[in-house]
Amino acid sequence: MPAAAAAEGFHRLRGSAPEGVWSAPGRVNLIGEHTDYNGGLALPIALPQRTYAAVRLRDDGHLRVSSDVAGGDVVDVAVADITPDLPGGWASYVAGVWWAVHRSGQDVPGADVHLVSDVPVGAGLSSSAALECCVAASLSDLLGLGLLEHDDGRARLAAWCQEAENVIAGAPTGGMDQAISMRAIEAHAALLDCRSGGVEQVPFDLTARALALLVVDTRAEHALVDGQYAARRRSCERAAASLGVATLRDVPVTGLDDALARLGDAVTRARVRHVVTEIDRVTRCVTALRAGDVDEVGRLFVASHTSLRDDYEVSCRELDLAVDTALDQGALGARMTGGGFGGSAIALVRSDDVERVSAAVTEAFNRAGLREPGCFAVTAGPAAGRDA
């Protein structure tokens, strides 16, 4: 049990038991990619894979963070000294949460934190949001804030985690990952409205339909801090400004042609076309899921991938190969998931086909001389919470 492993690791390094263990999930997004920072819609699920934090508060104002991955190394920073440069590296995702909660006016003490995770790192499955959200959950309980007890409180915790990532970790991400990690419900996908902050839970239980959601971690380099993500975001913001709207959410799909005619530059037109049609696909996907029309869900996955590849230009060779191979092998639909430029793809497949499709994708990667991908089926898990 990873929760027990986190507590044991804490005990080994600190010589005493933690006050508790909290965990939070990674995610895959079913559809609605690069829409969150445009005030749009997204439809993620929480993964069964989670990050676990064993935590004990300290009264000397120091945050001391260790993880099973980092061996016995402990990163030590005074809460008052946390900045985008300090402590830097992976510990900044933890320190950023302390910083954001402190900045909101809460009196935040120091803490010892030990982390254990089974969310693959660098796979585009939101290991960073899982990290932020499990420590935010621990702070809510240990400071007696009670925010885990209702969805409004969870939305507040998610906002702190996003602030941590944007300001202290330096990744200008849009908030989908933290929202699902904090607000998921098991066996449901969450329809996130990133303009209103609202969430609608949509039943998502593929096993009842003898289907499975296969994740292919392409193991291709993926970094959201490397400028491409920020460039896409800037180009959407500029397009919204020149169209005279607050965000691209305010461009209805029925008004897309008119909006495109008002944009001079072909690349910007392609970016806007992706965002506006993708938001529409989310709505259609929710309708199809509610109606049990899984063929339509599959078609929408494929249309989303094509749009991300050709109009938004955030796919890559490995993602395209995973998607094309899964479709060749009879998947109902497949698409890249998350920010892109590497990371993971998802495929909607019949339960009986999981192994065959996984083997075919692995074989295709081998033949192309690429690193061996990681293939695993997932179900929709629960949100962040206390484990022990």
Q: Which of residues 45-84 bind ligand GLA (CB under 6 A)?
A: none
Closest to ligand GLA by CB, 177 vs 387, is 177
Burial class of residue 237 (count of CB atoms within 10 Å of its CB; 0-12, 13-18, 19+): middle
Site string for ligand GLA, 250-289 (x = CB under 6 A): ----------------------------------------
Contact 239, 273 (CB under 8 A): no
Site string for ligand GLA, 90-119 (x = CB under 6 A): ------------------------------
Tell me which stretch binds ligand GLA (CB under 6 A): 109-117, 171-179, 206-214, 282-290. Answer: 171-179
Site string for ligand GLA, 177-206 (x = CB under 6 A): x-----------------------------
Say whether residue 176 binds ligand GLA (CB under 6 A).
yes
Burial class of residue 264 (count of CB atoms within 10 Å of its CB; 0-12, 13-18, 19+): exposed
DSSP code, position 105: T
In whole angstroms, give the CA distance from residue 342 to residue 113: 30
In whole angstroms, give the CA distance from residue 201 to residue 60: 42
Picking from 207, 189, 212, 214, the residue whose alpha carbon sits closest to that of residue 199 is: 189
Residue with tokens 């089926």: 377
Contact 362, 373 (CB under 8 A): yes
Closest to ligand GLA by CB, 137 vs 171, is 171
Closest to ligand GLA by CB, 64 vs 309, is 309
Of the residues 141, 177, 217, 387, which is catalytic?
177
Q: Smallest distance, Å, CB 328 to ligand GLA? A: 26
Q: Residues touching ligand GLA: how many (CB under 6 A)?
A: 13
Q: Does the active-site annotation cover 177? A: yes
Closest to ligand GLA by CB, 225 vs 368, is 225
- Which of 36, 112, 280, 318 lies at the binding interface for ligand GLA (CB under 6 A)? 36
Say whether residue 33 binds ligand GLA (CB under 6 A).
yes
Site string for ligand GLA, 305-344 (x = CB under 6 A): ---------------------------------xx-----
Tell me which stretch binds ligand GLA (CB under 6 A): 5-13, 26-34, 72-80, 251-259. Answer: 26-34
DSSP code, position 56: E
Strand, coil or helix: 263: coil
Phi-psi sector, 175: left (phi>0), alpha (psi -120 to 50), beta: left
Say whether residue 132 binds ligand GLA (CB under 6 A).
no
Tell me which stretch binds ligand GLA (CB under 6 A): 58-66, 143-151, 167-175, 296-304. Answer: 167-175
| Half-sphere exposure of residue 347: CA atoms within 13 angstroms, side-chain side | 31
Contact 349, 211 (CB under 8 A): yes
DSSP code, position 46: E
In whole angstroms, give the CA distance from residue 151 to residue 149: 7
Closest to ligand GLA by CB, 101 vs 275, is 275
Distance of CA 348 to the CA centre of its chain: 19
- Which of 9, 110, 120, 174 lies at the binding interface for ligand GLA (CB under 6 A)? 174
Q: Which residue(s) pair with 116 in the sheet?
A: 52
| Half-sphere exposure of residue 33: CA atoms within 13 angstroms, side-chain side | 35
Q: For residue 179, what are its two tokens? A: 């929202």
197 C-beta neighbours (distance < 10 Å), count? 13
- Which of 127, 138, 140, 173 lies at the binding interface for ligand GLA (CB under 6 A)? 173
Q: Which of residues 213-242 bind ligand GLA (CB under 6 A)?
A: 224
Closest to ligand GLA by CB, 112 vs 132, is 132
**Residue ranges that bind ligand GLA, judged by CB under 6 A:** 29, 33-34, 36-37, 173-177, 224, 338-339
Q: Cite the active site residues.
A: 177
